[in-house]
Amino acid sequence: AGMEGSGGASRAVADWRLALWTLCSVLLPVLITAWCSFQRSRRQLLIRDIFRKSKHDWHYTDLFGQPSYCCVCAQHILRGAFCGCCGLRVSERCLKKADQRFLCKEIMMRGTARAPSSMPHHWIRGNVPLCSCCVVCKQQCGTQPKLCDYRCVWCQYTVHDECMVDCLRTEDCTFGEFKDLIIPPYYLSTINQMRKEKRTSYEKVVPYCRKHWMPVMVLANTRSGNNMGEILLGEFKMLLNPVQVFDLSKIAPAKALQLCTWLPCNAVRVLVCGGDGTVGWVLDAIDEMKIKGQERYIPQVAILPLGTGNDLSNTLGWGAGYAGEVPVEQILRNVMEADGIKLDRWKVQVTNKGYYNLRKPKVFTMNNYFSIGPDALMALNFHAHREKTPSLFSSRIINKAVYFFYGTKDCLVQECKDLNKKVELELDGERIELPNLEGIIVLNIGYWGGGCRLWEGMGDEPYPLARHDDGLLEVVGVHGSFHCAQIQVKLANPVRLGQAHTVRLILKSSKMPMQVDGEPWAQGPCTVTITHKTHALMLYHSGEQTDDDDASSLSE
């Protein structure tokens, strides 16, 4: 009995010991994970607090894209923080020291005793761009696996450690290749002081008085198309004054464009990074400047296409889409070399029938095209789908695939058939007899539907010249989605209905899909009137063209 009692006790102790070890084996990883999570969240809060209070444009990355060294401790780092304006790179533990020790790019000079027409170089040590050359000895910089060599954050010149001499530290910065595009900090401080003193004679201020100075402003929509806007913002801030670069998700174009009033008349160039919708948004803000009496400050507009269709960008020679294949330095060179042209802008007024005309007409501004029919239906279905699941539409390829799906669906369903029986069309007051159609498209520019030259079609028939600055609209009809697809691959011609200064379309019955520049809606019986509104000052890039573009260049 005694032996049985002692055996039971030992088993109980063993069971308790097993339970204790089991509990420890479960709780210990949980406690370690919780402690690590707490420390990580605490560290993130401290980093976020430094980011918020800092004058640097800090960003955190889990992996640098090239070999990087901390600018404080000089150790090799895989992850850490970098400044999107001056290019500093630091480890987490050195972030606070770097923030206190190093100055970022100054957008405006303060409290300086130097001449107001110059400023010294701003040198940053280490992490120089790959394949950069020393301005003194002309040999490659940044070749050693350590923190070495210097780079000026304004002119982008690089210098070896051993080539850095006192004269380079104190000499005036030339602002490098893009001196004609950069707004110097000393210029802004001088103009700011003159405005306080209510003086407006800016002509004698350097570089205002320089003949070829054409400051550029970059307006980027970080939500457009393939989400490249965030990367471009940082790259442009590195090359230009950060005050010239605006994120349109944080500041409206109308407010950003007020910087033009600090700059020479008729000299500013604006680079819009986004889709055709973003370009239209900026052009609307420029029209507001005209209403405010700021017409002499109106800038010329270039486009970096980040959207899905990018037909306006394609028409003006800036390409059908940007995916990082061209360095930002080349983009700025293209902006400098681009030629100024005019673009017609049109007023689209939609007046509903009935309701004793109590409803206010809808008014749109058109840059590209207006349409009723299958392509508007595709756009309407696409927008409805994107509003439900916006996270799926972050890629240009996915967007075009969804358009293809809805186009294929319409080929089978034919929701817009017998359009010619439902509408009346007038061109410059003359009624047009319509053949059997499913869609009508009114064009202002050469490209439509993501790269198709709709007015030219196959190019095998004579047709009147089409331009985007002649005050004329081209009106075509299509037999359906399949006909649209045939035109896009040059297997068919559109039904050319004519050219006109004024277009009037009457929808007599039923509800039909309509769109203006890719913004669709479902519309009941109404009258649509399209008249000329104004001209926009644009920039045309005459870069490399395809054979297709060369063949049709006469029509532009």
State the 10-residue block means of pLDDT for the chain, 556 residues long: 62 81 84 81 80 90 90 93 93 91 87 65 92 91 91 94 84 91 91 82 75 92 78 93 94 95 91 92 95 92 88 92 90 95 96 74 94 86 65 58 56 69 93 92 90 84 86 92 83 92 92 90 93 96 56 41
Domain ranges for the chain: 48-105, 214-337, 345-535
Find out if CATH 3.40.190.10 is the number for domain 345-535.
no
Other CB atoms closer than 10 Å to residue 517's CB: what's the count? Answer: 25
Residue 371 CB: number of other CB atoms within 10 A? 26
Looking at 414-474, list the stretches that DSSP marks H as alpha helix, in order from N- to C-terminal side.
Answer: 419-422
Q: Where do runs of H (alpha helix) occur along 54-165?
A: 95-101
**Per-residue pLDDT at 6:** 64
Q: What is the pLDDT of residue 216?
A: 96
User: Can you tell me the distance from the alpha carbon of 387 to that of 402, in angstroms, rounded to the nearest whole number?
Assistant: 13
Q: What is the pLDDT of residue 548?
A: 45
Cite the beta strand spans of 399-525 per DSSP E.
423-427, 430-432, 439-443, 473-478, 495-500, 503-507, 512-516, 519-523
Q: What is the pTM of this model?
A: 0.85
- Write the pLDDT tens digit of every residue in 403-418: 555 555 555 456 678 8
CB 257 within 8 A of CB 299: yes
Does the domain formed by 48-105 have CATH 3.90.800.10?
Answer: no
Q: Which helix (H) or strand (E) holds 45?
A: helix 2-53
Convert the pLDDT of each residue in 441-495 to its tens digit: 999 998 988 788 889 888 787 888 889 999 999 999 998 878 888 888 888 889 9
- Return the CATH number of 214-337, one of 3.40.50.970, 3.40.630.30, 3.40.50.2300, 3.40.50.10330: 3.40.50.10330
